[in-house]
């Protein structure tokens, strides 16, 4: 029963939608925002827009190692302008990207209704980049909290999870991209076991395994908020929830696609702290499960969960 509920809670975390409105990106893990090519990383016209990771603005991400559904998809990404990089030509400080751009992330993943274009990048001094003649500054990674694990990869085996993921690994943009794949991808096509496509089942499982750590954390907050109101005393108490948390990462027939961080004692400790809040009078600080999940997500992304 405990393991079955753990699976249900994991699925709840799939549907904690609408918690970020940043430009879409894929859930690929990068060791640093400073990538191999000087023009890769995050850019924006102003420092203020660099810091605004959720709003529609000039924030731009260039990633030649981008991955979508396990396949390479080099990307030049802006708000409502998701461009697949199909070629590049370099000369001195200039690089011209040959791209196909899509207004919607769903169209990007399906490669439909795209427009071909050229984007010229010119490297300047003092960490600036011209994008089609407009000056952008590099958005530096935020300092990792001292109690976080700066070199840990949240989805890697044996990862150490101390206080949320390093900002350079999980970003609002990456999480938004994962949500887009859940909202429009293979998981939405699974309705009836008699007609489910085996390929869709496999792809949906892989998406579950790629679930970003902070989205999972907020998903548990989303699910537990309602559990605390359950009339069934067997599943609406803290002891039961603790048993569910402790069962995460154990091998069973439903765990093949669990994220690797489920096996991390540090991650389970974060969930225990979250459960202590949800099943306490503090829970009344939030009016709805959506409000609590959004708050928990921001705390996790800032590197200091409950």
114 within some domain: yes
Please check whether residues 181 and 274 belong to one and the same domain.
Answer: yes
More confident residue, 36 or 247: 247
- Residue 185's domain spans which residues? 2-18+144-302
Please check whether residues 263 and 179 belong to one and the same domain.
Answer: yes
Please check whether residues 170 and 155 belong to one and the same domain.
Answer: yes
What's the CA gap between 78 and 12, in Å, rounded? 29
What are the percentages of helix, strand and coil residues in the chain, rounded to 5? 40, 20, 45
More confident residue, 83 or 41: 83
pLDDT at site 221:
93
pLDDT at site 35:
42
Residues 6+ apart with CB under 8 A from 254: 3, 4, 7
Average confidence score pLDDT of the chain: 76
pTM: predicted TM-score of the whole model, two decimal places: 0.51
More confident residue, 211 or 19: 211
pLDDT at site 192:
66
β-bridge mates for residue 288, sequence order: none
Which of 138, 169, 194 finishes a domain? 138
Quick one: tokens of 280? 């306490």
Tell me the per-residue pLDDT of 97-133, one tens digit each, with 9 for 90 and over.
Answer: 999 999 887 788 889 999 999 999 999 988 899 999 9
24 within some domain: no
pLDDT at site 21:
30
Please check whether residues 114 and 148 belong to one and the same domain.
Answer: no
25 within some domain: no
Please check whether residues 117 and 63 belong to one and the same domain.
Answer: yes
Please check whether residues 134 and 249 belong to one and the same domain.
Answer: no
Tell me the per-residue pLDDT of 222-242, one tens digit each, with 9 for 90 and over.
Answer: 999 888 776 666 666 788 888
128 within some domain: yes
Please check whether residues 197 and 260 belong to one and the same domain.
Answer: yes
């Amino acid at each position: 029963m405990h393991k079955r509920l753990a699976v249900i809670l994991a699925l709840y975390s799939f549907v904690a939608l609408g918690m970020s409105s940043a430009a879409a990106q894929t859930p690929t893990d990068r060791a640093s925002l400073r990538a191999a090519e000087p023009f890769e990383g995050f850019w924006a016209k102003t420092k203020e827009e660099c810091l605004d990771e959720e709003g529609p603005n000039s924030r731009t991400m260039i990633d030649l190692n981008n991955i979508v559904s396990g396949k390479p998809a080099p990307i030049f990404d802006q708000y409502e302008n998701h461009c697949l990089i199909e070629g590049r030509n370099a000369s001195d400080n200039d690089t011209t990207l040959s791209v196909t751009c899509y207004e919607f992330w769903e169209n990007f993943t399906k490669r439909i209704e795209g427009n071909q274009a050229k984007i010229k990048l010119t490297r300047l001094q003092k960490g600036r980049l011209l994008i089609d003649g407009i000056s952008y500054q590099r958005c530096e990674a935020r300092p990792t909290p001292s109690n976080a694990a700066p070199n840990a990869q949240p989805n890697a085996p044996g990862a150490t999870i101390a206080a949320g993921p390093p900002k350079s690994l999980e970003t609002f943009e990456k999480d938004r991209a994962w949500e887009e794949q859940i909202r429009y991808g293979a998981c939405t096509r699974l309705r009836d076991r008699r007609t489910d496509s085996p390929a869709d089942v496999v792809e949906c499982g892989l998406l579950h395994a790629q679930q970003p750590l902070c989205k999972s954390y907020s998903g548990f907050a989303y699910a537990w908020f309602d559990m605390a109101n359950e009339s069934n005393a067997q599943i609406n108490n803290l002891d039961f929830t603790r048993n569910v948390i402790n069962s995460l990462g154990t091998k069973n027939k439903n765990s093949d696609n669990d994220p690797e961080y489920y096996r991390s004692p540090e991650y389970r400790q974060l969930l225990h702290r979250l459960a202590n809040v949800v099943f306490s009078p503090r829970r009344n600080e939030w009016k709805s499960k959506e409000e609590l999940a959004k708050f928990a997500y921001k705390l996790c992304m800032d590197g200091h969960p409950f």
